[in-house]
A and B are shown apart, each in its own frame.
Chain A
Amino acid sequence: MERTTPDAAAPDTRPGVRASAGLPKALPKLDKREQPAAAREAVFKLRDVRVTYGGVAAVEEVTFDLLENEITAFIGPSGCGKSTLIRCLNRMNDLVPSARVAGTVLYHDQDLYAGDVDPVQVRKRIGMVFQKPNPFPKSIYENIAFGPRVLGMKGDMDEIVEGALRKGALWDEVKDRLKTNAFGMSGGQQQRLCIARTMAVEPDVILMDEPCSALDPISTGAIEELMLDLKRNYSIVIVTHNMQQAARVSDRTAFFNVDKLEEGKRVGKLVEFAPTEKIFTKPDDIRTEEYVTGKFG
């Protein structure tokens, strides 16, 4: 007789056997559930990127493609260079005099660090939201209007402000007090204001460096929901210490680890870059496994 497996349709009614739903015949293989990402274009292509501060490498050997309309998470222990790397993507590292970026960073196949590239234009198209909400000490309206004004954007400022606040899921809450000082808002609202401010200049990519670490769980939830909504039209990269957050919101995750070199020096390296589901169910690298299960870090 063939080996039989109870199938879901016919409940087992033999005496002594507790009535229960049968096990499905076979689970779909995990790797088949990944959709090929060939359809999506790469927003960033990094090849062998290395960042040094005053000659000392902070992170190196970074090679991967970040895809459009996805949320990519950078995770890893402290000092692994994930914040350093994300700041390379919009040339914020230019502000640190001792920082040098080697390797190739391509944005839509254009070299971001080419000599004739204007960092101001880069930052217009690639926006950034920081860990601690940093609204300007001005009114909500002025906060949003600042970016478009300095960039000389044309258009009705009122409309631009409203549009940005709507995209930032803030319009309904603040539409009656646009002229009040932004400092009067709660932490979560301030962070959404910072996101809306970034969107006012019409970027293509939004970088987020631990955007929720200074917020309470409810504000965090609101921002995560906003992220999931935004990814339809923008590409998002998020650095996070919170693995559950990375698991909840991101499509793809990059795990960075700290390598200890001789003389007590440490350098960050990209260990694994894969769809988030894979990282959290069956990572390839043992170091990734140990990090996500909390065995270190």
Chain B
Amino acid sequence: MTEQRLQFQRQLADLELSALGGLDLVCEQLDRVIEALEHQDVELAQIVVADDDRLDGRYLEVHQGILSLLALQAPVAGDLRLVAALLHLIKHVERMGDQCVNVAKLIPLSGHEPPVQQEILSKTVQMGQFARAEVVQCKRSFAERDVQMAEDLLTRDVTVNRLNREIFRLAIEAGDDADVREWAMIMTLVARAFERIGDNAVDIGEQTAFVVTGLFREFSDASTAAARS
């Protein structure tokens, strides 16, 4: 390989690390937001909102890197698929970050002493933790180009979707108190945000499969029945 090509490979590898590093940032944000949720920590929530700039910055950085590589190096075959996948991946990362911000913004809405229903809260926190696990798994599956691990994400996501529906049902039966109902509605919105993070992780899994196989397949095609259950 020529020196120039080696440099290109290094640039591509660095770009991948940078993009995957975004997932680490997402995990950080998720951790904070889950803790803020558990302890109704409004200040922590504000930090999450502010810190989203880092993720946005990461998005721009990777995006620019990709454009540069495309323009200057004309990647083909495997390199091209990787570049295309990174473009999608960083978008999903940015979305995940935005979902964290959504949750963070919802926390102060429930006030300083919200009427917490423990079941709903614990399920929501659990959802968040599962979503975080999905983020970690999708990162690993992409870095290691493990298609099976990527497909497994769907199974995990099923759990997250189930929790989402349960929280929704619990919220409907939250009771007559307007404050409680309000809080429960907010929790459903939080749950939805976590569910979206899970979806984005699955999408990243699809990109892993694309890089490896060259085929773009929606995972839900394979197990639509399972998802419905």
Is B227 located at the chain interface by the 8 A CB criterion?
Answer: yes
Contact pattern, B 163-185, Cβ under 8 Å of A = 1, otherwise 0: 01100100000000000000000
Residues on A with C-beta less than 8 A from B79 are 293
Choose, from B1-9, B16-24, B129-137, the stretch at the interface. Answer: B1-9
Is A35 located at the chain interface by the 8 A CB criterion?
Answer: no
Contact pattern, B 29-66, Cβ under 8 Å of A = 1, otherwise 0: 00000000000000000000000100000000000000
Contact pattern, B 199-218, Cβ under 8 Å of A = 1, otherwise 0: 10011000000000011111
Is A281 located at the chain interface by the 8 A CB criterion?
Answer: yes
Pair A29/B1 contact, Cβ less than 8 Å: no
Contact pattern, B 76-100, Cβ under 8 Å of A = 1, otherwise 0: 1111110000001001001100110
Pair B8/A294 contact, Cβ less than 8 Å: yes
Pair B102/A289 contact, Cβ less than 8 Å: no
Pair A294/B5 contact, Cβ less than 8 Å: yes
Contact pattern, B 135-172, Cβ under 8 Å of A = 1, otherwise 0: 00000000000000000000001000100110010000
Query: Which residue of chain B lies nearest to A25 when distances are taken between CB atoms in the complex?
Result: B218
B168 contacts which of A1, A15, A16, A294 (Cβ < 8 Å)?
A1
Residues on B with C-beta less than 8 A from A281 are 76-77, 80-81, 214
User: What CA separation (Å) do A159 and B1 show in the bound complex?
Assistant: 52
Residues on A with C-beta less than 8 A from B74 are 244
Residues on A with C-beta less than 8 A from B95 are 17
Query: Which residue of chain A lies nearest to B154 when distances are taken between CB atoms in the complex?
Result: A3
Please give the number of chain B residues whose Cβ is less than 8 angstroms from any Cβ of chain A in the complex: 39
Expressed in whole angstroms, the minimum distance between the Cβ of A257 and any Cβ of chain B is 15
- Give the interface size bracket for A toward B: 20 to 34
If A14-B102, A16-B98, A17-B102 touch, whether A2 touches B227 (CB-CB below 8 Å) is yes
Expressed in whole angstroms, the minimum distance between the Cβ of A98 and any Cβ of chain B is 34
Is A10 located at the chain interface by the 8 A CB criterion?
Answer: no
Is A154 located at the chain interface by the 8 A CB criterion?
Answer: no
User: What CA separation (Å) do A4 and B228 show in the bound complex?
Assistant: 12
User: What CA separation (Å) do A289 and B79 show in the bound complex?
Assistant: 9
Residues on A with C-beta less than 8 A from B101 are 16
Expressed in whole angstroms, the minimum distance between the Cβ of B127 and any Cβ of chain A is 12
Is B75 located at the chain interface by the 8 A CB criterion?
Answer: yes
Pair A16/B78 contact, Cβ less than 8 Å: no
User: Would you list which residues of chain A between 1 and 26 have a CB under 8 Å from chain B?
Assistant: 1-5, 14-18, 20, 23, 25-26
Contact pattern, A 27-40, Cβ under 8 Å of B = 1, otherwise 0: 10111000000000
User: What CA separation (Å) do A294 and B157 show in the bound complex?
Assistant: 39
